[in-house]
Amino acid sequence: METYQSVAVLIPCYNEALTIGKVVDDFMAALPGATVYVYDNNSTDGTAAIALEHGARVKRESRQGKGNVVRQMLRDIDAEYYLLVDGDDTYPAEAAPLLIDPLANDEADTVVGDRISNGTYGEENTRAFHGFGNNLVRGLVNLLYGFRYNDIMTGYRSFNRVFAKTLPVLSTGFQIETEISIHAADKRWRIKQVPIEYRDRPAGSVSKLNTFSDGVRVLGMIFSLFKDYKPLGFFSLLAVISMAVGLVLGIPVVIEFAETGLVERMPTAIMAVAFCGLGALLLVCGLILDTVVKGHRRDWELRVTEEYAKQRR
């Protein structure tokens, strides 16, 4: 792809005045003809004005949080290919064609800019526990959703129009990267991972991430989507735990009854029955919700087919 008129570069921003001008210039140079959109999320440092001066199309999004910004971007902007990147100058613009070309060549529906494989994220990222958190989230998502991601939480990724227009964004904040990764794996989109060079923020630029609070939100998002996307597995796990507790409580009571003919620990016996009953109920809930989710998945597949049909017209 020699020119990139069909590409929309999406840059959600909150107080990135130090870097946004360079980021806009770099991506315009790396993707000739592409349109660069900067959505300002209540910045107080002149980010929007700087982006406008450098030739970006600028819009304000008043609902705070990256997830809210990305949701509105995908609703507002119509393009054939989308490149999502942060405005903090940590992702190399020269790698942008590597993320777009697999989409244009119909080799992938979404491309992930992988910071982990070549080791640059570990070298450049000096924030405590961020590497540990990334590894924890990646391990959980890979285990629960069956796709071997190298980098779950990268902010550098691309997707085609059908992927963008059928992506349900539920997140409000920095959970958006995890949500997109889970959606792509769960819905069996064609995913390609491209190693990129990562660089830490320049001096004076401050991260908006909070390691612990945002980490808790990301973990909550993982388990919430696990419940929504794979209810049989989620509720079966809870059922097994509940049944195990019931058996641990109940077996001594049964043994005691077999030896003496008496149930002397009646409260324990009642709790054992209650936990076993709860386990059975959880399993039934999982079976019912699994049927509902399969129906929703069929409806979603039909919607994707309709989007592809509209694109071919």
Q: What is the pLDDT of residues 36-83, one digit of tens each?
A: 999 999 999 999 999 999 999 999 999 999 999 999 999 999 999 999
- For residue 198 the two structure tokens come to 């990562």
* Sign of the Cα pseudo-torsion (149, 154, 156, 157, in order): positive
pLDDT classification of 142: cutoffs 50, 70, 90: confident
pLDDT of residue 209: 64
Q: DSSP E strands: which ranges in the chain?
A: 7-13, 35-40, 57-60, 81-84, 110-114, 157-160, 191-195
Task: Decide: pTM greater than 0.75.
Answer: yes
Specify the range with the lowest mean pLDDT, choosing from 78-92, 122-136, 182-196, 266-280. Answer: 122-136
Residue 161, SS3 per DSSP? helix
pLDDT of residue 203: 66
pLDDT classification of 222: cutoffs 50, 70, 90: confident
Specify the range with the lowest mean pLDDT, choosing from 40-44, 68-72, 202-206, 216-220. Answer: 202-206
Gap between the Cα atoms of 39 and 275, Å rounded: 50
Residue 40, SS3 per DSSP? strand
Query: Which residues fall within 8 angstroms of residue 160, CB to CB, at 6 or more apart?
Result: 80, 81, 82, 103, 109, 110
Gap between the Cα atoms of 275 and 277, Å rounded: 5
